Amino acid sequence: MKVSGHLVGPQPRSEELMRAYRDYTKGRLAKQVLDGLIKKEAEENVKIQLKNEFAVIIDGMLNWHDLLRPFTERLSGVEVDGLSRWFDSNTFYKQPVIVGRVERTIPILENMVFYDLVTPERLKIIVPDPYTFSKLSINKSYRRFEDLVYDVSEAIAEEISTLPAAHVQLTAPSLVYEKLPKAEIELAMNGVEIIRRRYRGILSIHTCFGRVGNVMPELLDFTVDMIGVDMTVTPFKDLKDYDFTKILGLGCIDARNTILETPDEIASFVMKVLSETSVKQVYVSPSSGLEFLPNTIANAKIRNIGSALKLLKEV
């Protein structure tokens, strides 16, 4: 059975890298030294994914302070505000403030991704979905929220169209964190459609921090190739009611708990999904980025996914 493994968000920095960031912030460490450590750790992140036979590879996003930050800092019309809570976690992001027309006037991910570590065919770039980015912003400029979403979509689409990566993931917690009215889901769908028109690679959308049940019918209509679901908050029965035409990302590895899912448990769950639902193809992933865990535990979870993939191969 062919099942692949994916990471779906930032990897945790090691303790050494965290301390290096603190030292750099306090002026006790040179930028060059910090950059060297980041690169070294990105290489280790790539290595562990390759070793565990993940189908697509991310570089770990170690130099992203939060998922929105490169866009918050580099999009025209956006300024960086204070801290805001990242959904229901004890982590925070710097909130974008929309102060003018949102446009991509400079490359956003330049120097943010280690393109040399992974071949373009296997490289996955993770960015915020336009609706989520807009929803998490303070809008001081647009009269209509939908116009903001469309401009953010255009800007992200333009950035993605320049990237040498065969896989792009739109991370979309705002689609599932709270129950959305239909019109909002349609708006999010239109934003993704704008990206789809500009990007020819494999496009996925990953939902996390909320139960997917309420939006699953609409999600299946999004013009993406894969849909990722946070199974730590979604009951299994939510997957049973629909006719799946897309590849399903099974976010069944809890990215916010230290309990290690065993390879047997992971493999059994995949088998259950494939036998009891209409899903035809899946990939296994953590429920979100593993950034909420200490680095050593995150790596143990990756190894267990790898072992589960081996078990499934034998089926």
Judge contact between 302 and 7, C-beta under 8 A.
yes
Cα separation of 254 and 313, whole Å?
Answer: 23
CB of 185 to other proteins, least distance (A): 20
Spatial distance between the Cα atoms of 289 and 234, rounded to a whole number of angstroms = 17
Closest to other proteins by CB, 72 or 153: 72
Task: Determine the size of the site formed for other proteins (CB under 8 A).
Answer: 38
Nearer to other proteins, 126 or 165 (CB): 126
Q: Which of residues 84-113 bind other proteins (CB under 8 A)?
A: 85, 88-94
Of 114, 250, 291, 302, the residue at the interface with other proteins (CB under 8 A) is 291
Min dist CB 11 to other proteins, Å, is 11
Distance CA 297, CA 33 (A): 26
Q: Is 71 in the site for other proteins (CB under 8 A)?
A: no
Verify binding: residue 119, other proteins, rule CB under 8 A.
no
Residue 78 phi/psi, 5-degree rounding, is: -125, 135
**Of 177 and 199, which CB lies nearer to other proteins in the complex structure?**
177
Residues constituting the chain? 315
Residue 295 binds other proteins (CB under 8 A):
yes
Residue 15 found at the interface with other proteins (CB under 8 A): yes
Site string for other proteins, 220-239 (x = CB under 8 A): -----------xxxxxxx--
Q: Which backbone phi and psi does 182 adopt, to 5 degrees?
A: -55, -40
Report how far residue 18's alpha carbon sits from residue 281's, in angstroms, rounded to the nearest whole number.
37
Q: Is 196 in the site for other proteins (CB under 8 A)?
A: no
Instruction: Name the segment binding other proteins (CB under 8 A); options: 1-9, 134-142, 251-259, 299-307.
Output: 251-259
For residue 96, the cross-strand partners are: 80
Q: Return the exposure string of 38-65: e unless at least 16 CB atoms fall within 10 Å of the residue's CB, then b.
A: bbebbebbbebbeebebebbbbbbbbbe
Restricted to residues 256-285, the positions that interact with other proteins (CB under 8 A) are 256-259
Closer CB to other proteins, 5 or 210, in the complex: 210
Using the rule CB under 8 A, is 24 a contact of other proteins? yes
At 15 the three-state DSSP class reads helix
Q: Which of 1, 50, 97, 297 touches other proteins (CB under 8 A)? A: 297
By the rule CB under 8 A, 83 interacts with other proteins: yes
Spatial separation of the C-alpha atoms in residues 70 and 64, rounded to whole Å: 7
22 binds other proteins (CB under 8 A): yes
Contacts of residue 88, Cβ cutoff 8 Å, sequence gap at least 6? 177, 209
Residue with the two structure tokens 């035409």: 245
Closer residue to other proteins (CB): 133 or 209: 209
Q: What ranges make up the beta strands (E) of the chain?
A: 4-5, 76-85, 92-103, 124-128, 138-139, 167-171, 202-206, 226-230, 247-253, 282-286
Q: Which stretch binds other proteins (CB under 8 A): 44-52, 118-126, 215-223, 290-298?
A: 290-298
Per rule CB under 8 A, is residue 131 in the interface with other proteins?
Answer: no
Which stretches of the chain bind other proteins, using CB under 8 A? 12-13, 15, 18, 21-22, 24-25, 65-66, 83, 85, 88-94, 211, 231-237, 256-259, 291-297
